[in-house]
Amino acid sequence: MKFSDLALPLDVQAAVKAQGYVKPTPIQTLVIPPALEGSDILGGAPTGTGKTAAFLLPVLARLNMKPKAPGVRALILEPTRELAQQVCADANKLCQALLKADAAGIGKYEDYSLEEEGADADADEEDFDDPYFDEHRESDPDELEAQAAEVSDHEAEAEGGEDEFEAELQQALKAADSSGRGGDEDDEDDEDDIPAIPEVDAKTFAEFMQGMEHFKAYTVIGGEGRDVQQAAVGMIAVATPGRLNEFIDKGIFDTSKVELLVIDEADRMLDMGFRDDVAAIVRATSRRYQTMLFSATLEGAGVREFAEQVLNDPFEVHLGSGQSENEKLPELLSSRAYYAANAQQKYNILAHLLRTASGKAIVFVRTKDRVNALCSFLRRNGVNAASLEGDMNITERKAALRRFKDNEVRMLVATDVAARGLDVPDVEQVYNFDLPGKADIYVHRAGRTARAGSKGTVISLVERSELNLLARIENYTGREIERRQIKNVCAAFPVEKTLPTKRESRASIGGKGGFDKRRADEKDDKKKVKERWRDKKNKGKPDFAAKRAKKAARLKASEAKAQKAQAAKAAKSAVAAKEQGA
């Protein structure tokens, strides 16, 4: 499968080639054709599979049909600032390449500016129009009938149950390891089918760009000045839900011209509590032509229920999530774990592993305090590391990511703010200094390595209190994590006690009802002595007669003692009287 097989316009194909893409990835192969036809898309695919290009290429193909139309015509929602900035950068690279291809005359280019259309436009056409309808308005009826049949065939495939679609899916999945940017360099067919963009002199390009300055992307995100974002212009807005809703409420952001809405990393946005914000944006863009929703998984977090409210008869694509759980992790990813008796031993294990490691690595921790402590520890051990955590301002985050991407440092210590969507090439290892509280976050962390068919390793440092988390991760991913030990550094994992099954538990308490029904050979051989009720009827009851006898004896002794004392007193008085009379 080649990009030229996906029905992309020739100028878009040239722009793709200029950006170094060789073959489409499975998600691109399955999403781009129906997206070009205008279908809503529901895509489930793990990170690192090429989702960004899967929605950017159809978006640019549509926008380039009316490149001079003003206003924001495509809106892309991302859960975090970093991911929004990255998608914006990717979009601008493709925009520049596409403009150069058009300036060089590659592909059919027509000027669809609103000013030129306005003179002949009818009053009824002032409403939101459809560029696809405009393009085919004068088409031959037979051609339109053939196109309609082709779309119907594709819709039948989308419903599932067509052998051709299943074969296409399996073929795309098998090509995953050799797909994507930097694929087979010796594919001569790609070189022949897609033209290279020739050099265009500055004057020609400047003339071509008149009225096209807004053919670009810009961000609407928190952490950047509102004045700067208000002044920005572009036909593609890449936004985080919170800041975008603020701009919409204040009347700063005009949604009336939005034709395309892309909701990326939907599961992450719902987890972060953006459901109401995204729903408000969906309502504000009700005149849109097409909606695409992508998620790492379509199960959990209410993604599918939310998609039913947003999408209209979508074309569904499932890669990884939605199939077997072990496909959530890259195929070339290896996983291992080391046991730490305490938190301090984790530092010792990490220092030992880094002595023999090479290449880029990301270390994930749970708290920002741990980020600072770990960076200080690494510097003391001669390892330069950048840090990334939630309290850093946008300038500090950009600086940290730039240092890591430009190889100024080979280690990035981060909280889970960096676990989704960041595309940093050549990350060879991911270290879980602290295991995440949820198994799906482990998958997102692991997705930072082993991208686009390359190999990668995930190393987890596990304390006793985290053993249950490790087991939960293995159950979720369907993959066993290799447990290792390092001589004189860390011991082997403790033997885990297995819980008894329900049947074993019932047997240990004597079977059903709790009665001990022992086998005949386990019964006591001693002859039982017959006990009569009359012999044991008073057993354990108080002996009132004995109590009364004891009480009577005490009273009698007390009376005798009193009489004796009285007699002694009388004798003493008599002696005293006798002495007094003498």
What is the mean pLDDT of the segment spanning 416-441?
Answer: 82
- So what's the pLDDT on residue 308? 93
What is the mean pLDDT of the segment spanning 420-431?
Answer: 81
Q: Domain 326-484 in CATH: superfamily?
A: P-loop containing nucleotide triphosphate hydrolases (3.40.50.300)
The tens digit of pLDDT for each residue in 502-546 reads 555 555 545 444 444 455 555 555 566 666 666 666 666 666 777
The answer on pLDDT for 157 being more than 70 is no
The answer on pLDDT for 496 being more than 50 is yes
Amino acid at 88: C
- So what's the pLDDT on residue 206? 84
The answer on pLDDT for 231 being more than 50 is yes
Q: Distance between alpha carbon 396 and the CA centroid of its chain, in Å?
A: 24
Question: Phi/psi at 372 (nearest 5 deg)?
Answer: -65, -45
The answer on pLDDT for 331 being more than 50 is yes
The answer on pLDDT for 350 being more than 80 is yes
What is the mean pLDDT of the segment spanning 36-53?
Answer: 88
138 against 469, higher pLDDT = 469
- So what's the pLDDT on residue 211? 81
Give the containing element (helix H, strand E) for 36. helix 26-36
DSSP symbol at 456 = E
The tens digit of pLDDT for each residue in 182-198 reads 444 444 444 446 888 88
- Residue 477 — pLDDT band, cuts 50, 70, 90? confident
**Cα–Cα distance, 85 to 80 (Å, whole number):** 9
Q: Are 13 and 4 in contact (CB under 8 A)?
A: yes
Among 457, 497, 439, 465, residue whose Cα is nearest residue 337: 457
The answer on pLDDT for 52 being more than 50 is yes
What is the mean pLDDT of the segment spanning 325-341?
Answer: 77
- So what's the pLDDT on residue 327? 43
What is the mean pLDDT of the segment spanning 389-414?
Answer: 88
The answer on pLDDT for 81 being more than 60 is yes
Most confident of 7-21, 176-190, 409-423, 444-458: 7-21
Residues of the chain with CATH 3.40.50.300: 3-117+126-323, 326-484
The answer on pLDDT for 4 being more than 80 is yes
The tens digit of pLDDT for each residue in 161-173 reads 444 544 554 554 4
- So what's the pLDDT on residue 78? 95
Residues 6+ apart with CB under 8 A from 390: 368, 415, 417
- So what's the pLDDT on residue 430? 95
Among 316, 304, 45, residue whose Cα is nearest residue 165: 316
The CA-CA-CA angle for residues 260, 266, 269, to 5°, reads 115
Q: Are 410 and 384 in contact (CB under 8 A)?
A: yes
The answer on pLDDT for 297 being more than 90 is no
- Residue 115 — pLDDT band, cuts 50, 70, 90? very low
Percent of the chain exceeding pLDDT 70 equals: 72
137 against 70, higher pLDDT = 70
301 against 223, higher pLDDT = 223
Most confident of 278-292, 321-335, 484-498: 278-292
Residues 6+ apart with CB under 8 A from 344: none
User: What is the architecture of the domain spanning 3-117+126-323?
Assistant: 3-Layer(aba) Sandwich (3.40)
Q: Are 58 and 24 in contact (CB under 8 A)?
A: no
Among 360, 365, 371, residue whose Cα is nearest residue 451: 360
Percent of the chain exceeding pLDDT 90 equals: 38
- So what's the pLDDT on residue 348? 93
- What average pLDDT is seen over the chain? 79
- So what's the pLDDT on residue 500? 52
CB under 8 A, 24+ apart: contacts of 150-157 = 151/37, 154/33, 154/34, 154/37, 154/39, 154/315, 155/39, 155/315
The answer on pLDDT for 420 being more than 70 is no
The answer on pLDDT for 123 being more than 50 is no
The CA-CA-CA angle for residues 359, 364, 365, to 5°, reads 145
